[in-house]
Amino acid sequence: MRFAVSLGRRPSVRVVIAIGMVGLIGLGLLAAWISPERVIGIAEELMRIIRGLGARGAVVFAIVQVLVAVSGVLPASLLGVAAGAIYGLVPGFLLAAASTLAGALFSFFLSRSLFRASVERLAARRPRLRNLDARIARDGWKLVCLLRVSPIMPFSATSLALGLSAVGLLDYALGTLASLPALGGYVLIGTLADTSLSGWANGSSTVRLALLGAGALATLVLVVRFGQIAIKLGISSRAEDNLEFESDQSGSEHLQAR
């Protein structure tokens, strides 16, 4: 007789990737909160290295921008400023925009292909989650647009969350384009500013204030919209519960009458 000894399941590839992505995003947010000066220092050192690489620096910058868009280890705004300072307004914006969009699409496809099936199975057993997923998909590109403009929503975490939702690829791509005007503003700041990144971070230029104002407005609209969705879900859930209760009650009364 042969005995099989179970050593426990090894973590799946999906779990490892999920932990890695969430860990990188969390690390970036924690570093930016605990030591923003250190984060800016890293970005300035990276900027110095890319300057010294000449034409090859554009390739390195694009790779770094894609990684930042996926992981969030550095604020995307810092790299936008760096792109303007190194390459100028038009070349810097085109390079930063293409890299940011590529990173956003890669993150979306990664999240969608690896984890969306698990969310669908979970939603199939939970009506409220299924309704929330459907309402988010119904808002589509408008909701994605608000998420991209809001400064409090980390770019990488938003890409990961939208990949888990039922939002379609076209809506996701159209909504993500809303991040480009803000990116262009940061590139413009880098082009005009004759200071280091630390000087920009501590400054209060007109362009930066305008971007923060637009982001604050988008955040307000986003909070209101999510509040409306929550209220509708609550009403619909109570209506479904009442309908089921009335159906059960009428059924019991019918049985008693018989």
What pLDDT is stored for residue 189 in this prediction? 83
Give me the residue spans of the domains in the chain: 13-248
pLDDT digit string (tens) for 221-241? 777 776 776 676 665 444 444
% of the chain with per-residue pLDDT over 90: 11
- Can you give the pTM of this predicted structure? 0.70
| Burial class (CB within 10 angstroms; exposed 0-12, middle 13-18, buried 19+) of 89 | middle
What distance in Å separates the CA atoms of residue 75 and residue 40, rounded to the nearest whole number?
Answer: 9
What distance in Å separates the CA atoms of residue 49 and residue 51, rounded to the nearest whole number?
Answer: 5
pLDDT digit string (tens) for 106-163? 989 988 888 888 888 888 888 888 888 888 888 888 888 888 888 777 888 888 889 8
Q: How confident is the model at residue 19 (pLDDT cuts 50, 70, 90)?
A: low
What pLDDT is stored for residue 154 in this prediction? 80
Least confident interval from 66-75, 95-104, 110-119, 203-212: 203-212
SS3 at position 204: coil
What distance in Å separates the CA atoms of residue 207 and residue 203, rounded to the nearest whole number?
Answer: 11
Contact 103, 69 (CB under 8 A): yes
What pLDDT is stored for residue 8 in this prediction? 45
What pLDDT is stored for residue 244 in this prediction? 44
What distance in Å separates the CA atoms of residue 67 and residue 226, rounded to the nearest whole number?
Answer: 29
Scored b (16 or more CB within 10 A) or e, 154-191 reads bbbbbbbebbbbbbeeebbeebbebbbebbbbbbbbbb
Does residue 101 register a pLDDT over 70? Answer: yes
Does residue 187 register a pLDDT over 80? Answer: yes
Q: What is the mean pLDDT of residues 165-173?
A: 91
% of the chain with per-residue pLDDT over 70: 64
Dig out the tokens for 247 from the structure: 């159906």
Q: How confident is the model at residue 33 (pLDDT cuts 50, 70, 90)?
A: low
What pLDDT is stored for residue 242 in this prediction? 47
Q: Would you say the C-alpha torsion 25, 26, 31, 32 has a positive or negative sign?
A: positive
